[in-house]
Amino acid sequence: MTFLDPSAGLLAAAFVVPALLALYFLKLRRRPVRVSSTMLWRRAVHDLQVNAPFRMIKPSWLLLLQLLALAALLLAFARPAIDATSGPTDRLVILIDRSASMSATDGVGADGQTRLAQAKAQAIELIERHNRSGDATGKSEAIVIAFAHEARALTRFTGNRVTLLRAVESIQPTDQGADFPAALRLVRTLVMQSGESESAISSRATIALLSDGAFTPTQEPASLGAVGAQLRFIQSGPNPDAPSFNIGIVAAGAQRDFEDASLVRVFARLINSGREPVKVAVTLSALGKPVSAKTVDCPGATDDAPGDAPVTFELRGAAASAETTIPLRLSLTVDDALAADNHAHLTLAPPTPARVLVVGPETGGRPDLYLLRAIEAASRRTPTPTTYAAYESSPPVSANQGGYDLVVFDRSAPTAMPLPPSLSFAAGLPIDGLRIGDLDQSHKPTMIVWWRRTNPLLRQVGLGAIEVYRPRPITLPGEDETPADESDPQALPAPVSPWSISTIARGLDGPLMIEIERSGERRAIIAFAVPESNWATSVSFPIFIANTLERLAQVGAGAQARSVTTTDPITLRAKPGADEIVLERDGSTERAVPVRASATVAIGAIERTGLYVARGAEEKDSLLAVNLFDEIESTLATASTVRVAGEDIQQGGVGQAAPKEIWPLFVLIAFALLIVEWVLFALRSKV
């Protein structure tokens, strides 16, 4: 137990205790009165003994009870509190998890209460306690931060109770995973900069993490102790030893058959977080109508992993051959704790031949003949060849307006990034730090010694017999930069490229094939031209071109369905003349983003799952399928500890972050003692 304001109790005791004792030290002087017998007034016997102004206090139950009652009242003045591991803090950071698992309806409290509702109730209690436990200087402040995939500060550091409570009530759930490291980085920044003075760094701060702990362990570079902060973990949801029942779809996809474009195969992966095996009904809908249903046996979870079960469907007929983008939906018929993962949405492009633009070499001339024929065979449509000069004479948006699904650059590097996906041979793209070296006539031939067979571009593509006569060196972003001196505190870190670049094939001297991705936008670069190898005469070359059309253009036979997760940043292409792109879900507007100078519009991540209609976007981007697909969130596990900087933080109650005042209890004790004292006094005064 601690006292939040001991000085008030001591000051009151300095005045009140001497006054009570003085009443027992002083003797009353009474006027003598003659009576017939002193035996009639028993109390007068005591007064007859009073013949001096002061005397020593004799033991008395009344005095003892009065002192105890007074002591209880004085302790109440000192504001006693329990539970907190330390005294009141100057700053309280309330960090509330609003990830998908926090929407589970297994929160401790009322029936059907979500974990987020439980966490918000705990946050409100924290604010009430912290508001009452401010120090004598009145500098006690708090801040509310909500986090899922991103962390957002909903208030500044403030002592305004109403502002803090409104911020907590405004927190809405998401269908995203929890990025705990991002939340800690924001907390560290706010704690260090809140006061904009040195005192802010040295002030005491408590971070109250209100979460179910359903995120991966975090290894932070430095602990929060560096800024005088302590982390308190307040768990929401059930006990970790009692997992919640939930069946969720954690992966789904669809693909057209390579030989028959009117056949679509749909698959999904289910997990079961409960211990008992269950049967669950899975329904496939296309174009808004149910077309098939299956019952799946999903095994129970073990100590190591949740239960796992696959399910597949085949879609034929009019729904599979529709001339517009086909919305697909997988639904589970199950009453479980989390609804966000009971559905999966996909969009599948119509079975139309791919439209490919092939740009010839920078030095002039037409594209390679083998390349044109392989594209025609894979796309079932004659590609459109053009010269490099003709392509560069028009703005890059012209290719998009022409309706091309893929742009192939044959020994030609564009000066601006094309809007459609692209495949480049012996040429680079305008990406900072990415360079394709000039042709070195003296360079020795090389073999492809390694390739990533699991990459969709190289599926069933054998490269062991391919010889590259004149390879061109590839320099990836960051490879030619001087590393920063980590010992220099002023050294700036190297810039992070927004592109995700992976090597998918390598020769003796370096990468020969790379895949580039950003916000669902994919591109591929081959470090040599088709005539500079024997690849064109290999059966693997047309297979690679077919994989490229499937992976990059995502149309025609073999095309895959499209979807994004709630954490993926999204970029859409606007229709010519569109002023804004409006996202709608179930007929209601969710977001409107204006179209700037570029036809490419950054939408960002979408927090809730569902099928969205993008008004103002190109037809190819007009439907947007957003899913959770996060096994950690769907498992609904809770944790009793969280790990920060190698330290395990044990869960605790609200009292660990803010002490609970118990002065009303001491007032009741004082009142009870006064009642007992009054009863004893009444008994002694009885004649």
pLDDT tens digits, one per residue of 187-224: 888 877 655 443 444 456 788 999 998 876 554 545 55
Q: Could you list the residue range(s) of the whole structural domain that residue 198 is in?
A: 84-242+637-658
pLDDT given at position 658: 56
First to last CA, the chain: 46
424: confidence class by pLDDT, cuts 50, 70, 90: very high
State the average pLDDT for the chain: 80
pLDDT given at position 373: 93
**pLDDT one-digit tens code per residue, 630-643:** 999 999 989 888 87
What is the CATH number for 162? 3.40.50.410
Q: Answer yes or no: is pLDDT of 329 > 90.
A: yes
Lowest mean pLDDT among 3-17, 413-427, 612-626: 3-17
Closest CA to 316 of 356, 351, 358: 351
Answer yes or no: do 197 and 289 share one domain: no
Indicate left, alpha or beta for 308 from its phi (over 0: left) and psi (-120 to 50: alpha). Answer: beta
Question: At how many degrees (to 10) do helices 61-77 and 6-25 cross?
Answer: 160
Q: Give residue for tokens 């709608």.
A: 584
Rg (C-alpha) for the chain, rounded Å, is: 37
pLDDT given at position 31: 58
Answer yes or no: do 258 and 402 share one domain: no
Asked whether residue 684 is assigned to any structural domain, the reply reads no
What is the CATH number for 424? 3.40.50.880
Better-scored residue on pLDDT, 108 or 57? 108
Question: What average pLDDT does the segment 61-69 reach?
Answer: 71
Answer yes or no: do 381 and 521 share one domain: yes
Answer yes or no: do 526 and 381 share one domain: yes
553: confidence class by pLDDT, cuts 50, 70, 90: confident
- Rounded Cα distance between 461 and 526, Å, is 14
Specify the DSSP class assigned to residue 549: I
Q: Answer yes or no: is pLDDT of 251 > 70.
A: yes
Asked whether residue 482 is assigned to any structural domain, the reply reads no
pLDDT given at position 504: 93
What is the CATH number for 323? 2.60.40.10
Answer yes or no: do 511 and 394 share one domain: yes
Question: What average pLDDT does the segment 445-453 reach?
Answer: 90
* Amino acid letter for position 684: R
pLDDT given at position 229: 66
Question: What average pLDDT does the segment 72-101 reach?
Answer: 72
pLDDT given at position 92: 87
Q: Give residue for tokens 């269950």.
A: 278
Lowest mean pLDDT among 146-155, 314-323, 389-398: 389-398
pLDDT given at position 521: 79
**pLDDT one-digit tens code per residue, 32-48:** 666 555 555 555 555 54
Answer yes or no: do 283 and 380 share one domain: no
Answer yes or no: do 343 and 360 share one domain: no
> Which of 26, 49, 78 is a domain's end point?
78
Answer yes or no: do 130 and 229 share one domain: yes
| 3-state SS assignment for residue 602 | strand
Asked whether residue 184 is assigned to any structural domain, the reply reads yes
- Rounded Cα distance between 260 and 48, Å, is 121
**pLDDT one-digit tens code per residue, 123-160:** 998 888 876 655 434 457 899 999 999 999 999 989 89
Answer yes or no: do 227 and 126 share one domain: yes
* H or E element that contains 485: none
Answer yes or no: do 415 and 398 share one domain: yes
Answer yes or no: do 608 and 533 share one domain: no
Closest CA to 344 of 630, 544, 577, 551: 630
Threshold 0.85, pTM exceeds: no
Look at the chain and report how many structural domains it folds into. 5
- Rounded Cα distance between 428 and 436, Å, is 5
